[in-house]
Amino acid sequence: MYKILKKEYLANRIWLMDIEAPRVAKHCMPGQFVIVKMDEVGERIPLTICDYDREAGIVTIVFQTVGASTERMATYEVGESFRDFVGPLGRPSDLTEEPVEELAKKKILFICGGVGTAPVYPQVKWLKEQGIEADVVIGARSQDLLILEKEMGEVAAHLYIATDDGSKGFKGNTTDMLNELVLNRGIAYDHVVAIGPMIMMKFVCLATKKLGIHTIVSMNPIMVDGTGMCGACRLQVGDEIKFACVDGPEFDGHLIDFDAAMKRQQMYKTLEGQALLAYREGLTHKGGACGGDK
């Protein structure tokens, strides 16, 4: 059993929880995710890791209530426990695998929105621990929907806030903020990481492609089962078939057909759509299985 040590409401039906999970905390890296199962009959819910403390054995998760399972998860209180907390799963951020001296040569920008702010935080924090500075843009429709602003400000070299209504920071969306930094303020970025809603990542990638900036995105929004067995997160990356949960969740954003991925995401919400996708894709519909709690 995995005890809830902290519970905090952040904004817009988004919750943060600290979970006692020593074995997971010992091995997890930025960019990876866990699968949470509340009880014996509960749904398996893949959630990206927001933070971890190896010494204390704590993993922090952030989730938004979008369906019955996450609604029920939000009713759990401090002191209660989840039945399963499996991980770490997925591949760590590519940044963690690069030599520090090479990272130091890059000007890195993270762009995040909504729940996507959570998996950005451990990456920026990890870079800071290596002595690497990175800029961060957090976007939201309005000020009251921003999350983890204080925490991100403590690890980012420069934190930029963009709100659609101008209630805080720059008035505009994250793509507008990107263009403002590069085209109007003359900041030359070498590497962008964008994590957030699919539509946000799509337009960020369209902009960075024009600007010639290498861009990584996280396809965790399309994960359902988290093991590669359901076929929900199958996607075309360039000329290859990949699965977000076993091959990612991070990929080269310029190689992804976001329109196809979003259409697939909508189809997978119905049983008829799932059956049609399985029929069309045949043996390539599924992608194998992930590992377990290591």
- pLDDT category of residue 272 using cuts at 50, 70 and 90: very low
78-86: average pLDDT? 93
- pLDDT category of residue 287 using cuts at 50, 70 and 90: low
Fold adopted by 96-209: Rossmann fold (3.40.50)
pLDDT on residue 181: 97
Torsion of CA 179, 180, 182, 185, to 10 degrees: 170
pLDDT tens-digit series, residues 91-142: 899 899 899 999 999 999 999 998 899 999 999 999 999 999 999 999 999 9
Q: pLDDT exceeding 90 applies to what percent of the chain?
A: 60
Neighbours of 266 (CB within 10 A): 9
Q: What is the DSSP string of 101-145?
A: HHHTT--EEEEEEGGGHHHHHHHHHHHHHTT--EEEEEEESSGGG
Q: Where are the chain's structural domains?
A: 2-89, 96-209, 219-287
Q: 174: exposed, middle or buried (C-beta count within 10 Å: 0-12, 13-18, 19+)?
A: buried
Torsion of CA 185, 190, 194, 199, to 10 degrees: 70
Of 5-19, 83-97, 210-224, where does mean pLDDT reach its minimum?
210-224
Fold adopted by 2-89: Elongation Factor Tu (Ef-tu); domain 3 (2.40.30)
Task: Give this prediction's pTM.
Answer: 0.84
Q: Tell me which of 263 and 153 has the higher pLDDT.
A: 153
Phi and psi at residue 65, to the nearest 5°: -80, 110
Mean of pLDDT over the chain: 85
pLDDT tens-digit series, residues 146-191: 999 999 999 999 999 999 999 999 999 999 999 999 999 999 999 9
Tokens at 262, concatenated: 């979003």
pLDDT tens-digit series, residues 198-223: 899 999 999 999 999 999 998 876 66
Find, among 83, 92, 90, the residue nearest to 47 by Cα: 90
Residue 84 has pLDDT above 70, yes or no: yes
- pLDDT category of residue 273 using cuts at 50, 70 and 90: very low
Tokens at 169, concatenated: 């920071």
